[in-house]
């Protein structure tokens, strides 16, 4: 199944924080992007574009990843920013890695 995505300004899409669907609501199959449209100049680009691995992250996991990156990977800093215990932070990091198809010991 294909999905059409229309983009407007980055600021308004970030403000809405609407998640891009990754699975078909009818059959559960993986969606792909079929069309991108610029509302500023009315240009449309069509094709078959797979979703990137980050689309699989939940909103909570995306926010955790952003906090982790802002803390430059310092788990103690992540603990402090999110007011979470170390085991909880490690668990969330493991969950994000799994959602991205990575394991904690991958070197790539």
In a domain, 104, yes or no: no
User: If you write DSSP's letter for every residue of 36-99 in order, what string do you get?
Assistant: EEETTT--EEEEEEEPPGGGGS-HHHHHHHHHHHHTTT-HHHHHHHHT--HHHHHHHHHHHHHH
Residues spanned by the domain of 63: 56-99
Does residue 108 lie in a domain region? no
Q: What is the pTM of this model?
A: 0.64
Query: Does residue 79 fall inside a structural domain?
Result: yes
First to last CA, the chain: 31
Specify burial of residue 79 (Cβ count, 10 A radius: 0-12, 13-18, 19+).
Answer: middle
Give 5-54 pLDDT, tens digit per residue: 444 444 444 444 577 788 889 999 988 889 999 999 999 999 998 888 88
The percentage of residues in the chain with a pLDDT greater than 70, rounded to a whole number, is 80
Q: Are residues 44 and 73 in the same domain?
A: no
Given a contact cutoff of 8 angstroms between Cβ atoms, the answer to whether 64 and 57 are in contact is no
């Amino acid at each position: 199944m294909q999905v059409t995505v229309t983009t407007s300004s980055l600021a308004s899409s970030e403000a809405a924080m609407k998640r891009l669907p990754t699975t078909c609501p009818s059959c559960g199959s993986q969606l792909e992007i079929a069309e991108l449209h610029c509302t500023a100049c009315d240009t449309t680009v069509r094709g078959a574009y797979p979703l990137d691995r980050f689309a699989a992250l939940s909103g909570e996991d995306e926010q955790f990843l952003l906090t982790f990156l802002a803390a430059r990977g310092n788990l103690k800093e992540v603990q402090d920013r999110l007011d979470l215990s170390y085991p909880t932070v490690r668990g969330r990091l493991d969950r994000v890695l799994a959602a991205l198809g990575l394991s904690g010991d991958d070197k790539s």
